[in-house]
């Protein structure tokens, strides 16, 4: 039995954030979402490759992710979906062994756009924000993608 109590967050959230599992990026993702985007409370969907799972070419493989998005949009009051992909993603490297690093970056950005379109098509009233992130020296930089 653990004696210490941990406080739940009792504030509502209207945002679902889909991003990669990669441990190097977790703190930066949270800080960016909270501090730069001004979203204090969000529902994270953490899956290897992030937007990879909701991009067009993987729809059937990751149908369970859509079940979860459906649930949060219909029952959880989600009005905004934030998609974040990142450079040097081990999942993208595993899934695309023949691509060069520069091509992986383009693929990650392309998948972000495809994933955003998929979410917009399925949920026309939902705001979708796409964000690219990458290591730059000792820090992680973020870029909103139109
Ligand atoms: Zn990754």
Going from the N-terminus, what domains does the chain have, and what CATH number goes with each?
15-145 (3.40.1050.10)
As residues whose CB is below 5 A from the ion ligand 1, the structure lists 20, 22, 89, 91
Burial class (CB in 10 A: 0-12, 13-18, 19+), 22: middle
pLDDT tens by residue, 48-79:
999 999 997 777 889 999 999 999 999 889 99
CA of 5 to the centre of ligand 1 (A): 32
Confidence of residue 101 (pLDDT cuts 50, 70, 90): confident
CA of 108 to the centre of ligand 1 (A): 10
Across 67-102, b (16+ Cβ under 10 Å) vs e yields ebbeebbeebebebbbbbbbbebebbeeeeeeeeee
Asked if the model's pLDDT at residue 28 lies above 80, the reply is yes
CA of 86 to the centre of ligand 1 (A): 6
Q: Given this model, what pLDDT does residue 59 score?
A: 79
CA of 21 to the centre of ligand 1 (A): 6
């Amino acid at each position: 039995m653990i004696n210490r109590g941990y406080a739940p967050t009792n504030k509502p959230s209207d945002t679902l954030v889909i991003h990669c599992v990669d441990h190097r990026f977790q703190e930066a993702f949270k800080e960016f979402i909270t501090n730069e985007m001004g979203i204090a409370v969000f529902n994270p969907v953490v899956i290897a490759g992030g937007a990879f799972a909701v991009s067009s070419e993987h729809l059937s493989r990751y149908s369970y992710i859509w079940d979860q998005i459906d649930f949060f949009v219909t029952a959880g009051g989600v009005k905004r979906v934030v998609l974040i992909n990142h450079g040097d993603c081990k999942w993208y490297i595993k899934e695309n062994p023949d691509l060069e690093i520069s091509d992986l970056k383009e693929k990650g950005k392309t998948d972000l756009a495809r994933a955003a379109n998929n979410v917009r098509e399925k949920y026309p009233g939902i705001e979708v924000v796409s964000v690219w992130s990458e290591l730059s020296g000792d820090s992680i930089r973020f870029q909103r993608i139109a």
